[in-house]
Structure 1
Amino acid sequence: MTAPLAVSIGDPAGIGPEIIAESWARRRETGLAPFFVVGGANVLAAAAKARDLSVPVEPIEDPAEAAAVFSHALPVLGQEDSDYTPGKPETRGAALALHSLAEATRCALLEMASAVVTAPIAKAQLAQVGFEYPGQTEFLADVCGLEREDAVMMLAGPSLRAVPLTVHCALAEVPNRLSQGLIEHRARIVSRALRRDFGIDAPRLAVCGLNPHAGEGGRFGDEEARIIAPAIETLRAEGLDVTGPHPADALFTPRARQTYDAALAMYHDQALVPLKALDFDEGVNVTLGLPIVRTSPDHGTAFDIAGKGIANPGAMIAALRMAGAMAARRASHG
């Protein structure tokens, strides 16, 4: 792989800087591909010190320098910085987070980086500096010139891959947002991505029902018969291996998880609750359908434990490893 990974620092008052620093410190034992961080050199150095880590930070002027630096220091691109105030988010830190996200994405789009790995942000803080998106997934779709429905969030861990078909909306809005077209469109994107980025030649998709017991023959709702089942039939007719609609309370058992490569859930918590219950410390948020590779640890800023040296870096390490593997697979297949 010729280009390093670009890492956005996230909110500098959260746990992002310290788990990035610890990921670099564990780079050899975890087999991480070279990466650089956009901005926040002082923040990263202070976060590493607070965690009692020996992490030299070295500024770089070009992403191409990162690979040579990575073996002995954590490469940081750019001069943008902030104070390190763990647990106490502020406007200057939010500005750094936004700049870091935008610049890391630009590096990937220009192929100066092989992937983007985004540390957690605080949406309320970013809104104060002009960030108008529900989340980073929607931002990436817009920057990549895609419709938002073309960027699909998948949560992936060692035990489960799950895709919420509706994401950042109130639960009461979910039935009206679901449509046969939405399910079909996102299922196709997931299937293509599992082949391209995960090397699964014949992906198996399992689709959740919306209602308890998948509607139980219409007793608890008609969305399964009216929307979900017709979408599954269309996808099967196209040759995709899709099953369902399955009762969500049975789809995430150990035995059931052996029968599919990804589960398609109808709403946010239907996908994230089982993923976090099973793989919280290794869960990765992957954005499918983009022209670039993007991953992120599947947790938030955790302001309450920032700077205390107890944040688990496992999900950041997993996000870096997954980004490196996906980028390498894309590079090898063109």
Structure 2
Amino acid sequence: MNVKNTNNTFKIVLTVGDESGIGPEIILKALCSNEIPENIDLTVVGSKRNLQNTYRNLRSLGLENIANPKNLKIHDLKISSSENDSKSSYGNSSFYYLTKAIEIVKQSRNSALVTGPICKKSWSLAGHYFSGQTEVLAKSCGVKNVGMLFTAKSPITGWRFNTLLATTHIPLCDVPKKLTTELIHSKLDLFKDFCSTYIDKPTLKVAGLNPHAGEEGILGNEEKNWLNDALIAWNEKNRDITLLGPLSPDSCWNSSAKAWREKDAEKHDGILAMYHDQGLIPMKVIALNYSVNTTIGLPFIRTSPDHGTGFDIAGKGIAQCQSMIEAIKAAIEITKNSRLLNTH
């Protein structure tokens, strides 16, 4: 892929993530795909030397369909490293790749951010104490209400599958303590704004916290004590939204699986999950490699592949790049269809 830099094209800023993982590999593979539009201005933020080394290694393994770094626009960020602790060094580099990319996007109109996978432990070893890239984005943009949304477009039906998380990277035992009426309302506000950018009168579902959504207090009290009332109160102020829930979590995503596979199936526009794994397990099972992590509530769209660093397969040439391709495509599609285009 030869990217062009013109004032009229849409801009993507892409970070390589942790360079000791599969980030550089999936980027070079993805940018050679014919699924990526040609008329975008794409800048890769990372180490040019690392990308060149990755290219040579992949070629030596017999891979041909990969982008040559010499044809890419690379913001070559040189960061001092420690020879004694490579994990810390890679963590430090990936952190500063992200902060530089955020800076570039904030200064660029018609732009979006795509981030490669990072290692939270490596960030911690390098002295960057954030639970994930979402939290860095929120702080950098001065935004308190952001959402971790996982989205995927079915290659079978063209339906967009959305799952928003009410809580993100916290221990499971802390989830009930974090969930409040105010939190649920704020996440539903974000969800409404997101879905309303591309569809009129969205239908949203909300998963319960407990098995069978509490079974009227027999299996948990959160739904009975406050969640039911919270959803009713929000829906009364948002009559243009069809809101369903709280629904039993074990069957809440059944309709998603059907809509993913069948063109004539009844469609919904999003599900609000109460915690990380409740939403991510069905998302990854249904959408497989098409799932994309998206941060909503920022002044720009940020997407990322829905997988980790893949340290165990790094350098072997076997990492799949479909989620990175989908992350780039989603960043373009969502931004172009949203109110964020031309706003920053």
Q: CA deviation at 1:131?
A: 1.4
Q: Name the SS of the counterpart of 1:76 in structure 2.
A: strand
Report what 2:134 is aligned to: 137
Residue 15 of structure 1 pairs with residue 22 of structure 2? yes
Report what 2:112 is aligned to: 115
Residue 78 of structure 1 pairs with residue 76 of structure 2? yes
Residue 55 of structure 1 pairs with residue 67 of structure 2? yes
Q: CA deviation at 1:217?
A: 1.4
Task: From the superposition, tell whether residues 35 and 213 of structure 1 become closer, same or farther in structure 2 (CA, over 3 Å).
Answer: same
Distance 2:224 2:77 in 1: 56
Distance 1:203 1:170 in 2: 31
Distance 1:168 1:309 in 2: 30
Distance 1:302 1:280 in 2: 16
Q: Name the SS of the counterpart of 1:307 in structure 2.
A: coil
The question of whether the paired residues in 2 share the 8 Å contact of 1:214 and 1:245 is answered with yes
Kindly indicate which of the two structures has a greater share of residues assigned to helix: 1
Residue 4 of structure 1 pairs with residue 4 of structure 2? no
Report what 1:236 is aligned to: 235
Distance 2:133 2:306 in 1: 12
Residue 279 of structure 1 pairs with residue 292 of structure 2? no
Report what 1:31 is aligned to: 37
Deviations 1:236-286, CA, capped at 9 Å, x for gaps: 101132110100111111348744211001111100000111123111000
Cα RMSD for the two superposed structures: 2.2
**Matching residue's letter, 1:152:** G
Task: From the superposition, tell whether residues 4 and 79 of structure 1 become closer, same or farther in structure 2 (CA, over 3 Å).
Answer: same
Task: From the superposition, tell whether residues 229 and 237 of structure 1 become closer, same or farther in structure 2 (CA, over 3 Å).
Answer: same
Distance 1:205 1:219 in 2: 26
Unaligned runs of 5+ in 1: 59-72
Report what 2:173 is aligned to: 172
The question of whether the paired residues in 2 share the 8 Å contact of 1:163 and 1:264 is answered with yes
Q: CA deviation at 1:157?
A: 1.5
In the superposition, the TM-score normalised over structure 2's length comes to: 0.85
Residue 309 of structure 1 pairs with residue 310 of structure 2? no
Distance 2:173 2:25 in 1: 37
The question of whether the paired residues in 1 share the 8 Å contact of 2:289 and 2:322 is answered with yes
Quick one: percent identity of the two aligned structures?
Answer: 34
Task: From the superposition, tell whether residues 332 and 141 of structure 1 become closer, same or farther in structure 2 (CA, over 3 Å).
Answer: closer
Q: CA deviation at 1:332?
A: 5.7
Report what 2:122 is aligned to: 125
More displaced stretch, 201-210 vs 42-51:
42-51
The question of whether the paired residues in 1 share the 8 Å contact of 2:22 and 2:319 is answered with yes
Deviations 1:106-145, CA, capped at 9 Å, x for gaps: 1111126701100000011112223121111011000000
The question of whether the paired residues in 1 share the 8 Å contact of 2:208 and 2:223 is answered with yes
Deviations 1:203-239, CA, capped at 9 Å, x for gaps: 2110001111111111101111222211210121011
Distance 1:158 1:113 in 2: 22
